[in-house]
Amino acid sequence: MKVTVTRTPAEVKEVIKDWKKQGYSIGLVPTMGYLHEGHGSLIKKAVEENDKVMVSVFVNPIQFGPNEDLETYPRDFDADLKMIESLGADMVFHPEPSDMYASDFSTTISVAGVSENLCGARRPGHFNGVCTVVTKLFNLSEADRAYFGQKDAQQLAVVRRMVRDLNANIEIIGCPIIREDDGLAKSSRNTYLSSEERKAATVLNKALCAGKQMVEEGEKSALTVKLRIEDIISKEPLAKIDYVEITDWNSIEPVDIIDGSILCAIAVYIGNTRLIDNFIYEV
């Protein structure tokens, strides 16, 4: 069945009104496009668990900082549409920024605490932009469930906290990281890497696997695990560490002792490309 393409909030509302009238459950998959198998896994799960699925394809300008890659972020809507259609989603929402943000737009959503460490500390305003656009998509779709990948683990934690705090009537589903055969987490930004940088980027997963093994074998010192991960990454000449942190999985606050559910998150520059990855360990 051909997927319905909507371009404006008004068009989305018309489709949703019809779905709701027929009593359908709705799944939402928010994306910035240039879809890969990681996005595909979210869409597949949404299709399995809901009567209707809406996928948004929108490079959200308000989550990019002034020196970030908004203009160069990869885009290929025709390819995205083919993938979305092949996976059985029902609607694609592909607006222009002017459709999402009026010229005098003045409302943003801020989630304190959980958004302030890791990427939040290095990308000021990023999670305000994420939370604002996600809330708009929740409101437009009236979805029962929304699907987010674990690769963006802090984003997942921030959105879950926002939904809890605001009593939003939606279930947030976190989905596992999808990796290349050599372990690199799938990311739209991987296309920025040269062939040499692409090989070097495998150091992220190698370092995380070593750290996770230490935790699984009973290491309780977060510092010891961090130092091991940093040591492995620092041996790769093309890699430059932005951060290696171990935090509580729910609060994203740093921990000294590994106990309970923890997130080990890293951000590493390979050449000029900033990549993130992580593992979650739950007792």
Query: d(Cα 79, Cα 94) in Å, to the nearest integer?
Result: 13
Q: Which two tokens stand for residue 269?
A: 């520059």
The values of phi and psi at residue 156, to 5°, are: -60, -45
The values of phi and psi at residue 64, to 5°, are: -105, 140
For this structure, is 126 an active site residue? no
**Residue reference for tokens 């319905």:** 4
Catalytic residue among 36, 39, 94, 126: 39
Instruction: Show which residues are catalytic.
Output: 39
